Amino acid sequence: MASVAEGDVGTVAELARVLRWGFEELSLNKLATSLGASEQALRLIISIFMGYPMAVFYRRYLYFKDSYLIHLFHAFTGLSIAYFNFGNQLYHSLLCVGLQFLILRLMGRTVTAVLTTFCFQMAYLLAGYYYTATGNYDIKWTMPHCVLTLKLIGLAVDYFDGGKDQNSLSSEQQKYAIRGVPSLLEVAGFSYFYGAFLVGPQFSMNHYMKLVQGQLTDIPGKIPNSTIPALKRLSLGLVYLVGYTLLSPHITEDYLLTEDYENHDFWFRCMYMLLWGKFVLYKYVTCWLVTEGVCILTGLGFNDFDEHRKAKWDACANMKVWLFETTPRFTGTIASFNINTNAWVARYVFKRLKFLGNKELSQGLSLLFLALWHGLHSGYLVCFQMEFLIVIVERKAAGLIQESPTLSNLASITILQPFYYLVQQTIHWLFMGYSMTAFCLFTWDKWFKVYKSVYFLGHVFFLSLLFILPYVHKVMVPRKEKLKKAK
């Protein structure tokens, strides 16, 4: 009997061992390794795709239901996503959301509340960057927290505007101004909305409340007819995901740091930087397209109707894909990429700096804010400094061509248009890659090494143009054109 019992115990132990091995094989870590990705990256991808079944549940069971149920659903699902990705570190977002609610209630619609919000939320985010920073790109709690930081700052500003006289606000400020007093549940639902918690997009409290109240639909009184538009964005996101997955093992920023890269000819180093600079953005494009589809499915993407009474679903669009893929200008890429974040910075930073009386200074400070918002690494500062420089030079060059009859006639020659486009695209993506090098390599020792290998081409090229273009303008633009512009 003892031997039989021992045999049974041995069998059970063996079965347990096999099952444990099976579960380990099915673990996210094992799956991520087999896909050539990190476990955190896999959790992120799973989380943004989980937005679709959550949106379907919301449409089927909660649309037009009591507001408190919808807020609870959004808060619970967002917190679940936070826990799935970051475990107990979700307390960082809970703390900031709770304190933000107290700031609104205790300080009211005051400048003090706005300044306290800005200082506290940014300080908390920057402290998070400081204590969690490494030399590599890591997916940690600070990633969704930077999205949350903008949400909560925008909430405080809109709440402040809600206490002002309507006539003292711009039409844009009137649209976003919060007239009521948000409850804790409303703030939580707004903050943790599952379709935007991890990677955005940004949206206002007023827009969120319209969703909860069932106003964001193309068919009044009914669930929005948004399934097809949502699936289109999802499909496009999947195309970019497949492309990125297939190419990512072959085009990496790590190669920029290798001796093999440094030993290649100069033209090869530049072309690799060009191709990598285009490709590296696809991971962001993927995430934003997929989450946009979730927002559209819920109705949050509804943006009224066009002139033909066709519903527009681009309220949460973070990408203009066609413009992104075809524009030959840096300003075109900026206008097509991370749209809602750029709109947020324009609305709450750039336009609020109007009192400075200097557009370029306001733009420079806005880009400095964006650099700090991304992180404390020097690479972010260098990247946005390059953006500032490139945009200034591009505008000066475009103005020169427009004002100079000779250059304007030369630029309008039809047969040369394909050549001009090719040259523009080459310059555009070469120096986009140049800027993204600092952004993705973070630390000065890494990006400095790569910049040195291409002889600081981006800085030399655009700084030279910045000083040369005014003299070219004097030569190429007739005096009468200058006088006409002055009038």
CB 356 within 8 A of CB 362: yes
**Crossing angle for the helix pair 91-107 and 184-192, to the nearest 10 degrees:** 140
CB 71 within 8 A of CB 97: no
329 phi-psi bin (left φ>0, alpha ψ -120 to 50, beta other):
beta
Buried b (16+ CB within 10 A) or exposed e, 66-90: eeeebbebbbebbbbbbeebbeebb
Q: Which of 338, 340, 342, 377 is catalytic?
A: 338
CB 210 within 8 A of CB 187: no
Q: Provide the Cα torsion 70, 76, 79, 81; round to 10°.
A: -90
Q: Is 207 a catalytic residue?
A: no
Buried b (16+ CB within 10 A) or exposed e, 412-432: eeeeeeeeeeeeebebbbbbb
Q: Could you tell me the two tokens for 93?
A: 């977002």
Q: Which of 271, 298, 309, 289 is nearest to 434 (CA)?
A: 271
d(CA 314, CA 263) in angstroms, rounded, equals 46
Q: Looking at this protein, which amino acid is placed at residue 17?
A: R
Which phi and psi (to 5°) does residue 341 adopt? -70, -45
Q: Is 374 a catalytic residue?
A: yes
Q: Looking at this protein, which amino acid is placed at residue 328?
A: P
Q: Is the peptide bond before 220 cis (omega within 30 degrees of 0)?
A: no
3 state DSSP class of 337:
strand
Q: Could you tell me the two tokens for 98?
A: 């709770």
- HSE-CB for 226 with a 13 A CA cutoff: 32
Active-site amino acid positions:
338, 374
